[in-house]
Amino acid sequence: MTVTYDEFARVDIRVGTITRAEPFPEARKPAYKLWVDFGPEIGEKRSSAQITRHYTPEGLIGRQVVAVVNFPPRQIGKVLSEVLVLGVPDESGEVVLLAPSQPVPLGGRMF
């Protein structure tokens, strides 16, 4: 399946900073609840992420991440996930977060 540039451009991918992270014991698979600040235009949004293999809640605070911010919210257990934090699987299938290689302004849009 191919995607046109116009179709791809409709996906709003932004940079945010994780401000809070907590275990999510109610999730079916091990996960964390995340609060991500995308700056004044978008604000702080919540998400859940199955990233417990490589990250601790304490280690996530202050980390910049890349996320899709224009998907409709999705109820995941008791958490309303408002954004999709992006990652790729390692050789074991465990998620490694996508992030800018150096600090960038909050809310910066990928293009």
Q: How many CB atoms lie within 10 A of CB 86?
A: 16
Tell me what the pLDDT averaged over the chain comes to. 96
Find out if CATH 1.10.10.10 is the number for domain 5-97: no
pTM of the model: 0.94
Question: Span 24-39, mean pLDDT?
Answer: 95
Q: How confident is the model at residue 77 (pLDDT cuts 50, 70, 90)?
A: confident
Q: How many CB atoms lie within 10 A of CB 20?
A: 15
How many angstroms separate the CA atoms of 11 and 92, rounded?
Answer: 28
| Percent of the chain residues topping a pLDDT of 70 | 100
pLDDT tens string 97-106:
999 999 999 9
Q: How confident is the model at residue 111 (pLDDT cuts 50, 70, 90)?
A: confident
- Domain spans in the chain, listed from the N-terminal domain onward: 5-97
Question: Span 29-48, mean pLDDT?
Answer: 97
